[in-house]
Structure formats: structure tokens, C-alpha cells
Chains A and B, each alone.
Chain A
Amino acid sequence: ELKVEQNPLFLSMQEGKNYTIYCNYSTTSDRLYWYRQDPGKSLESLFVLLSNGAVKQEGRLMASLDTKARLSTLHITAAVHDLSATYFCAVDEGTYKYIFGTGTRLKVLA
């Protein structure tokens, strides 16, 4: 059974700092998704990573995928308060089911 581990669970960081969220998964997959959720809102799609070595960037966020290591990272550069949210990774084995990590609650302090 596919398992997805995400860490850290909680992250409090100062504005302007850099940090990385990690997403490890247990079986072969080359489809990985990152979502952001603000309290009470929908999960917003951030990145779709579909192959080994895929790297995508949007603003201060950059996501990468290493299928051999079964690892995806979400890197935050020079954090700002607006990035405070919960971030989820999800893995698709090639079916329609997403297997989610537990989420990382990020708080960026001014």
C-alpha cells in the first residue's frame, strides 16, 4: 500500500528566510501534486510533477521530483506572510486515487 510521509508537520519561520518541505512516498510513482489550503478554503493546486527531475517554480515556491529517491521537495524562498497556509503533497499511482501526506502547516512570522 502506498504511503506518503510529509515533514515537517508544522513550520514557523521568519519572513525572508528559506525553507524546504519534504514529501517521501513508498512505491513507484511519477505523478506528484502539491496543493495549498487556506483555512476554510479549497485545496488550491500549486504544482503537478510528472517525471523524474521535474522542477517547477511559481513566485517564491519551487517544487521538484526525484522518482528514484521517491522524494519531492517544496522549497520556499524569502518567505512572506502571504505564504502562511497548509501545504499538502499527493501521489498518484497511476489510478485516480490521490494518496495524501499529512500536510505541513506553515506560519510565516512578520
Chain B
Amino acid sequence: EAGVTQFPSHSVIEKGQTVTLRCDPISGHDNLYWYRRVMGKEIKFLLHFVKESKQDESGMPNNRFLAERTGGTYSTLKVQPAELEDSGVYFCASSQLGAGTADTQYFGPGTRLTVL
């Protein structure tokens, strides 16, 4: 069974540019999450989809970040325009069950974003 995949693995852009990150969850997983790790700090929650619906986007830093999951399959996270502080590793995770249950989240390898 394929795991969570993310593309690209690395992205280097200049301040002010736009970047789109993609995540393909494990097949059959309705729950998809985005997390971010900045400057070696803790991994922080960004948002959660159930199928195509956003359940919680309380962790999104600001309105320069836009996440979508059209059709309830893969998801994209767009940063527009990118700022220096957006640099970090963006992780995607998926799980089968939902809130209120103990369900392991399976993580992708992350996309390392560098904003110059």
C-alpha cells in the first residue's frame, strides 16, 4: 500500500512568489491534515479536511495560505505571496477514522520550502 506522498520534496522561491504544495493521502483515508515545522521548532497543526470539507483551519497562519481538497482526494496548499517566515517543512498526514477516535495519522516525507 502506498503511503502519503508529497510534491515537491524541496522548493526554493523568492519572497513575493507563489508556491503550491501537493499531498496525496493514503487511498481511502477521508481525513487529511497539514502541519508545518519552522526552524527546528515543534511540528504545528495547520488544518484538517474531512473529504473535501475543511473541518478546522485554525492553525493557518494568515490569509496568504490557501488549502484545497477538490473531490476529496489529493490536497494542495498554496502560499501567495510567500514571505521569509514561511520557510520550513510542510507535512501532510492522513487517517482513516475521525475526531473523537484514537486514530494514527500517517505522515508524508514533507516539502521543504525555502523563501529567499
Enumerate chain A interface residues (CB-CB to B < 8 A): 4, 31, 33, 35, 40-43, 45, 48, 50, 88, 90, 92, 94-103
Q: How near does chain B come to A91, taking the closest CB pair, in angstroms?
A: 11
Q: Are B42 and A100 touching (Cβ within 8 A)?
A: yes
Which among B11-19, B66-74, B98-106 touches the partner chain? B98-106
Query: Known contacts A40-B109, A42-B107, A48-B102; is A96 also within 8 Å of B48 by CB?
Result: yes
Using C-beta atoms within 8 Å of the partner chain, give the interface range for chain B.
Answer: 20 to 34
Q: How far is the CA of A99 from the CA of B43 in the complex (A)?
A: 8
Q: Residue of B at shortest CB range from A48?
A: B104
Verify if B27 is at the interface (C-beta below 8 Å from A). no
Which of A43, A99, A100, A101 has the most chain B CB within a 10 Å cutoff? Answer: A43
Q: Are A101 and B98 touching (Cβ within 8 A)?
A: no
